[in-house]
A and B are shown apart, each in its own frame.
Chain A
């Protein structure tokens, strides 16, 4: 359940951004959680509601985007996209894939006032 810790980190980020950009209310938050990130988006959404209570983000609508994972195939040398970490290379079927992206967990956009 590190999703709770991540959400607490997110609220801290929002409070910090509020100081920087001069806002006191967050109406929506868009996160990009890579398909290969270490997080369950549903658990994250659940935790966001719990953790945002009583903060500047209480009641904010959470949108979670899921960018594809990307990997370099050791087998055929292709750069490919992956939905899950254990998927084989869609070009050659090799399971020897070096993940190159889609692991990030980012705050991408805030609607604030």
Chain B
């Protein structure tokens, strides 16, 4: 599992001994204490990924490409939103897309139909994209200078939250058919969001879905998060999303790639 992460050399094993429970160390007096050493350190488990992500971020910054990492559960409408976004921007901006899925090229094919380049990364059993996969995609010149690189992560509200890809901002997409409590069920994901995009808002008249409750729940995970409500079908809210992208590009040009974190109140665009 996660063999596609590039963490090679490890055999997948289906058996485990369960030895790894947290245990005290007092009962392990060494047979040969003179050769044992204790080394104390503070090394981040994600250090390797984070270093690769930092390199990706430098590469994107050097060519003024805005990298956006789109994350959601499966079926939230990331690809549909991305197609609508690309169609609105493609005449004035160069765009590249990295599509992450466990299998198939379906999403990359949908993106390519809009005329922009897309690289499909199949993670196999892997549950998330990591910085090494993005580095390889960058090697294939998928990120256009002075444009936008959209990364559509594997549909999953858990694992992708932990892996920095080198993006300028993380966008968490959640659809109105999913329930207002999604941010409470997956707080780790919503805590890292720079923007929450609420999709499929054209369906709101048919649903009992409280947008305000979703926004309040998202802000329990991250009090300063911005929230926009959009519909790729009707185009509602898309202008506000495009304006958000434009502000992110301006910040990139100004040399402050991460969105401001101290916003008191966020824009909530009502449907229609």
Tell whether A pairs with B. Answer: yes
Chain B count of residues within 8 A CB distance of the other chain = 55
CB nearest neighbor in A for B34: A113
Q: Is the CB of A111 within 8 A of B2?
A: no
- A86 and B43 in contact, given A8-B2, A12-B48, A109-B38 (Cβ under 8 angstroms): no
Using Cβ atoms and an 8 Å threshold, which residues of chain B touch A96?
219-220, 223
| Chain A CB within 8 A of B5 CB | yes
| Chain A CB within 8 A of B106 CB | no
Q: How many contacts between A and B, using CB within 8 angstroms?
A: 151
Q: Is the CB of B48 within 8 A of A38?
A: no
Q: Is the CB of B42 within 8 A of A106?
A: yes
Q: Is the CB of B13 within 8 A of A50?
A: yes
CB nearest neighbor in A for B185: A86
- A38 and B45 in contact, given A1-B127, A27-B30 (Cβ under 8 angstroms): no
Chain A count of residues within 8 A CB distance of the other chain = 54
Using Cβ atoms and an 8 Å threshold, which residues of chain B touch A98?
222-224
Q: Is the CB of A86 within 8 A of B159?
A: no
Using Cβ atoms and an 8 Å threshold, which residues of chain B touch A46?
16, 18, 20
CB nearest neighbor in B for A41: B22
Using Cβ atoms and an 8 Å threshold, which residues of chain A touch B28?
27-28, 61
Q: Is the CB of B41 within 8 A of A9?
A: no
- A86 and B224 in contact, given A9-B46, A107-B43 (Cβ under 8 angstroms): no
Chain B binding surface, main DSSP class? loop
Partner of A45, one of B11, B22, B24, B222: B22
| Chain A CB within 8 A of B206 CB | no
Partner of B25, one of A8, A61, A86: A61
Q: Is the CB of A21 within 8 A of B47?
A: no
| Chain B CB within 8 A of A80 CB | no
Contacts A/B (CB < 8 Å), 30 sampled: A2-B128, A2-B159, A2-B163, A4-B1, A6-B46, A8-B2, A8-B5, A12-B48, A13-B43, A13-B47, A13-B48, A17-B41, A27-B36, A38-B159, A45-B21, A49-B16, A49-B19, A49-B20, A50-B13, A54-B11, A61-B19, A61-B28, A62-B20, A85-B188, A95-B220, A105-B44, A109-B41, A111-B25, A111-B36, A112-B38
A residues sitting closer than 8 Å to B (CB atoms) are 1-2, 4-6, 8-13, 17, 21, 23, 27-28, 31, 36, 38-39, 41, 44-51, 53-54, 59, 61-64, 74, 85-86, 95-99, 104-113
